[in-house]
Amino acid sequence: MGVDQMRDLEGFSSNAAGHAALAVCESMLLALVDLKLLTALDVVGALEDAAAVHRGTTGKPATDALHREVVVVIERIIRAARSGLPL
């Protein structure tokens, strides 16, 4: 995506951008599982890695709160993914 296309996205809220990013990632992960390039357990592992990155952040209190929220969202996605897995 070029700079001009990125400027087209500037008017959207971070909430809308976050929902769009989540939807795109979900579609990509599902496609990778459907194509048998990843297993559902691989996807859970990738989500756990993503949560770990956000758990390990320290710094400014304002961004720490955001990272904690991100971890909660990812953990909920992991629980939902695991509930659909044959164990």
Task: Give the model's pLDDT for residue 3.
Answer: 52
Q: What percent of the chain has pLDDT over 70?
A: 86
Cα dist from 58 to 22, 39, 55, 66, 71, whole Å: 24, 32, 8, 11, 13
DSSP 75: H
- pLDDT level of residue 1 (50, 70, 90 thresholds): low
- For the residues 46-50, what does the mean pLDDT come to? 96
Q: What is the pTM of this model?
A: 0.76
Angle between helices 61-83 and 40-55 (to 10 degrees): 160
